[in-house]
């Protein structure tokens, strides 16, 4: 379930990301539409992958551009999410190695122990975090955690 929700969470986490995906989608839709209108030009035939566009019916051309858009959209979204993941991972790795994380959570275990942490992420089964003073990423099962306290709430300032 987390795999299905993760892209939606990424899109809605930041307004800039959401707007970028919308603009990207509009651009990808416009690209084949422009090529379809200029199909009599050699450059448009070359960019669209159609060799003999004059011999094809309008329905065949429309089917070609529909699949062309689908492939462009799928590859583009895949690249977009991979790029976001790699970029966020690189920034997080740098912040961990330079120890510039803001440890703004307290993780309280069911056993009574607690530790100050930087919460990287969570899913339906695990918490991923870095303890204060440590440079290693730790994983705690949700069942072992009593609660998590937010110590520095930006919205209350």
Secondary structure (DSSP) of 95-127: HHHTT-----EEEEETTS-EEEEEEEEE-SSEE
pTM for the predicted model, two decimal places: 0.71
Q: What is the pLDDT of residue 83?
A: 92
Sorted by where each begins, the domain ranges of the chain are: 2-97, 105-151
For 8-64, how does the pLDDT look when each residue is reduced to its tens digit (9 = 90+)?
888 888 899 899 889 999 998 888 888 888 887 888 778 888 777 677 777 887 888
Per-residue pLDDT of 88-140, as tens digits, reads 999 999 999 999 999 999 999 999 999 999 999 888 899 999 999 999 999 99
């Amino acid at each position: 379930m987390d795999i299905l929700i993760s892209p939606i969470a990424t899109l809605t986490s930041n307004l800039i990301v959401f707007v970028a995906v919308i603009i990207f989608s509009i651009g990808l839709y416009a690209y084949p539409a422009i090529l379809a209108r200029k199909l009599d030009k050699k450059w448009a035939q070359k960019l669209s992958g159609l060799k003999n566009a004059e011999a094809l019916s309008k329905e065949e051309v429309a089917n070609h551009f529909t699949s062309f858009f689908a492939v462009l959209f799928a590859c583009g979204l895949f690249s977009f999410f991979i790029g976001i993941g790699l970029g966020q991972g690189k920034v997080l790795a740098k912040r961990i190695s330079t120890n510039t994380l803001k440890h703004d959570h307290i993780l309280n275990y069911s056993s009574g122990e607690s530790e100050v942490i930087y919460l990287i992420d969570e899913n339906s089964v695990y918490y991923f975090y870095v303890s204060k003073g440590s440079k290693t990423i730790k994983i705690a099962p949700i069942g072992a955690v009593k609660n998590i306290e937010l110590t520095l709430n930006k919205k209350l300032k």
